[in-house]
Structure 1
């Protein structure tokens, strides 16, 4: 299982609770699209996760920015996932970012709005913010490998309520 988070915005820790905390602890891989804000939040995520693949965001302090890249690529379930916090140009810019990395899925953050957008050749997924939703529904995402290849999953609220579904075909 892959658990996906973004926009923690915490000075003290990961702020995970309920189904979000369970997902982080049980996931084989955790992806975080930036804005931990503090080293304490980054370290708290690392303590809860088996494997954390993260990027830094615009609100991350220098200590976090020095430790994390602005973009990265992760492969799981035959799906190539490009991760960034944000890209200029909105959906078009994010799709171009994904295409330039040969990605099937782009995970991004910044808006705090749980979102799935299917473009012609890449799916854009913003898990939202489980801890600081800023007027949006709080969210995180979970993806699981399908028996026939690819991934499927959902954006969920911290209590496990499903907000949106996503399905990705493998190579």
Structure 2
């Protein structure tokens, strides 16, 4: 099972549209995780129209229309792995222990907010993934998103994709 992870798209404030490379990946994904800060409902509509399954949450920049359609925390079980999605996890220092305590029944937590790619494993095995942002790199060298596969109860082939400058 192929998964695509994205967050912090901030459309149309930071970019007019999603990058072509990310759009081309959507039909190949069995599940797309979006960890919030969509900003517009058009992006959610686009993903729901083009993707087999979207698991998303609202972020701090998302207004009432998105909050009416999305939860603050979402959960999905894929191939024997328990995933959670949340926008904000707090400061980087202590993140692993804090998230492991808050989400003790998860195998993978997808999060956003910082626009900084992150891939660590907490004591106890919780994998924390932040795919960065495909549209707003902030202080990062590249805009980014992630892909991975779920097979045999394992998360495999986690790749951070760097997008070309716009």
TM tier relative to shorter chain: 0.7 to 0.9
TM normalised by structure 2 equals: 0.85
How far did 1:89 drift?
A: 5.6
Partner residue in 2 for 1:156: 161
In the TM superposition, 1:1-171 aligns within 5 A as: 1-11=2-12, 15-18=18-21, 20-88=22-90, 90=92, 91=95, 92-99=97-104, 102-121=105-124, 122-136=126-140, 137-146=142-151, 148-152=152-156, 153-158=158-163
Give, in whole Å, the separation in 2 of the partners of 1:14 and 1:123.
30
Query: In structure 2, do the counterparts of structure 1 residues 56 and 78 end up closer, same or farther at CA, with 3 Å as the change threshold?
Result: same
Give, in whole Å, the separation in 2 of the partners of 1:64 and 1:105.
24
Unaligned runs of 5+ in 1: 160-171
TM normalised by structure 1 equals: 0.83
Give RMSD over aligned pairs.
1.8
How far did 1:82 drift?
A: 0.9
Give, in whole Å, the separation in 2 of the partners of 1:30 and 1:114.
17
SS of 1:93's partner is helix
How far did 1:51 drift?
A: 0.8
Give, in whole Å, the separation in 2 of the partners of 1:78 and 1:125.
18
Unaligned runs of 5+ in 2: none
Give, in whole Å, the separation in 1 of the partners of 2:130 and 2:83.
12
Q: Encode CA deviations 1:71-108: one digit per residue, 9 max, x unaligned.
A: 01111122111110013465133232321xx1011100
Give, in whole Å, the separation in 2 of the partners of 1:24 and 1:93.
31
